[in-house]
Amino acid sequence: MSTTEAINALGLRPLSGRIAAEILAPLGAILADDALQADLRAALPERGVLVLRGASPSPEQQIALASIFGEPEPPKEQNPRHPDHDLVCVFDSDGGYKADKWHADETFVENPVSGAVLSMQIMPPVGGDTMWTNTEAAYDALSNGMKALLDNRRARHEINESVATVHPVIRTHPVTGRKSIYVNDIFTRGIVDLPPDESDAILPFLKRHVQRPDFTFRHTWAEGDVVIWDNRCTQHYAINDFEGRRVVHRVGFFAEPFEN
């Protein structure tokens, strides 16, 4: 199916210049149609973020949606789970959960999730938006000199001293072949194959560069909204500007892994 045909079938509508699209096809139709599922898989790495407004999936439907893209992420002890569905992680602001720095999920492990499906359950009256940024567009905007400097460099990612790994600073998407910047505010500690002074200068620049508004999309949630993102070529930021309770359900998935 051509890109135009896929857009027509899914009702794909871009939401910003460089990232994100809304899917107008109903969730039920997608879950019942193999061709729509194939188009959805193709659309995700192209747009990075896909939005289904008001889909209000059941936990079973959310797991089925994640399974379109790959194997659902197994439960992790540190993440609170849905009482009836171990594959659904429940992030509740009443439990102190915050993700209000730019990051890709779980980059402190060797094989982070490829993406995730997020479903909004309870929204505060005002605020609580989430932003995503296109790390491929950020790479493309670097100078040729900076690209050459970063080629084959590696950076340390950690959540604590006992859970850490090293990843390339520049990664190539396994589906599209496009390059992206793979460092983030929460987990990246330093570029390991540069002198510390040079790492301390370049790493903060890269983190700021990825956050430029012209690479981003900001989603204002409504209860029932679903957002799917490709964790390999985006970062996200949950804006902590609200009072009241905010609850989201998340199902991660493993698709095509990085080769580098």
The 10s digit of each residue's pLDDT in 204-247 is 999 999 999 999 999 999 999 999 999 999 999 999 999 999 99
Query: How high is the pLDDT of residue 88?
Result: 96
Exactly one of 103, 157, 209, 246 is catalytic; name it. Answer: 103
**Confidence band (pLDDT; 50, 70, 90) for 252?**
very high
**Confidence band (pLDDT; 50, 70, 90) for 161?**
confident
Structure-model confidence comparison of residues 83 and 69, the more confident one: 69
Active-site residue, 246 included: no
**Confidence band (pLDDT; 50, 70, 90) for 1?**
very low
pLDDT digits (tens, 9 = 90+) for 10-43: 999 999 999 999 999 999 999 999 999 999 999 9
- On average, the pLDDT of the chain sits at 94
Exactly one of 171, 173, 178, 236 is catalytic; name it. Answer: 236
CA dist., res. 26 & res. 24, Å (int): 6
Active-site residue, 236 included: yes
Residue 112: which of 241, 235, 19, 238 has the closest Cα? 235
pLDDT at 2 over 60: no
Exactly one of 18, 39, 47, 105 is catalytic; name it. Answer: 105
Active-site residue, 250 included: yes
pLDDT at 6 over 70: no
Query: How high is the pLDDT of residue 5?
Result: 52
